[in-house]
A = this chain, B = another copy of it.
Amino acid sequence: MKIVLDAMGGDFGPGPNVEAAVSAAREFGWEIALVGRQEMIRPLLVQHNTANLHLPIVHASEVIEMSEHPAQAVKTKKNSSMVVGMQMVRNGDADAFVTMGNTGGALAAALFHLGRVKGILRPALSAVFPTAKGWVLLLDVGANADCKPEYLLQFGLMGSIYAERVMGIRNPRVAIISNGEEETKGSELVQQAHQLLRRAPINFIGNAEGRDLPAGNADVFVTDGFTGNVIVKLAEGMGDFIKGMLREEIMRTTKSKLGGLLIKDALERISKRTNYEEIGGAPLLGVDGVVIVGHGRSKARAIRSALMRAAEAVEHSVVDAIETGLEALPKTAVAESRAPSP
């Protein structure tokens, strides 16, 4: 197993990336290539005991910053850690690429340097979501603001494969997000996609409403990248809002301050149940290689988890499974029009 980690990705620079790479290399014996500015990586790496570990540094002089325009940055910064890392996967020099950096940049770099899996119309960004019944997968969360029904069909297939092979969910329930449970509810896009998903060889359980997501009433939630992005950011915001109110109101009186101390363990258990660090990252699905993208605010523990997700996706041949799975999908007008002409 050889994973290439974007050592420059994330809000905290190379530090947590190097730490995570050392930890994963030691525990699992993988080779983890650290791509980025060697003058920044090396001094961090020598602080660790790396005897017998496979941790090569691959120098890349440029960095795609969080604030940059993704497609433009990928085009102009040919020696960025993201571009160099993706090229390693394309050339077979690595099995997977992991980054905590600019998500749009990862998408653009993957599209440009890895390309799509044969037959995939659009890749999808996915996200994992904590629910009352464990973690679920949501896609697309931002790669495609405007979708066609056929894209959503493919998202359902890719999500199902990832949930089964990497999240370990047998026969994952796939739902499409809509504004009502009934089959006839939804935008035109959703109604058409519903009909395609119904005929696909996956465990499609129909429409899900917004409330079904935190309730965990499916394992894979399919939606367009606009709605998915709003969902992910709203959920984050709601969490912050409720936590903020709780803190504020508990601090208001001496009695409730004492209560706050006594429920500290309970709050920690909640934090653990919803702790993204255990998951670490979610896949960019539909590109021709394993790419795992994590939060910019990830620390070493989360990055280590993301490396594990990458290894699982490689071991369970997620990319091959997507290519094979595509052949079993119902043929649609758009898919056919994309077939190579004679």
Q: Which residues of A contact B (CB under 8 A)?
A: 131-132, 142, 145-146, 177-180, 185-188, 190, 209-215, 224-227, 229-242, 244-246, 249-250, 252-253, 255-256, 258-267, 269-270, 273-274
Residue from the set A209, A213, A233 with the largest chain B CB neighbour count within 10 Å = A233
A226 touches B186 (CB 8 A): yes
User: How many copies are assembled?
Assistant: 2
Q: Which residues of B contact A238 (CB under 8 A)?
A: 214, 234-235, 238-239, 242
Q: Which residues of B contact A225 (CB under 8 A)?
A: 179
Q: A187-B146, A238-B235, A260-B259 are in contact. Are A246 and B266 (CB under 8 A)?
A: yes
A interface: dominant SS: helix
Q: Give the chain B neighbours of A270 by CB distance below 8 A.
A: 245-246, 249
- Tell me, rounded to whole Å, the shortest Cβ–Cβ distance linking A147 to chain B: 9
Contact call B186/A214, Cβ cutoff below 8 A:
no
Q: Which residue of B lies closest to A244 (CB)?
A: B132
Specify which of B210, B226, B245 is in contact with A236 (CB 8 Å cutoff): B210
**B253 in contact with A265 (CB, 8 Å):** yes
The smallest beta-carbon distance between A208 and chain B, in angstroms, is: 10
Pair A226/B187 contact, Cβ less than 8 Å = yes
The minimal Cβ–Cβ distance linking A249 to chain B, given in whole angstroms, is: 4
Are B255's CB and A233's CB within 8 A?
no
Distance A270 CA – B243 CA, assembled complex (angstroms): 11
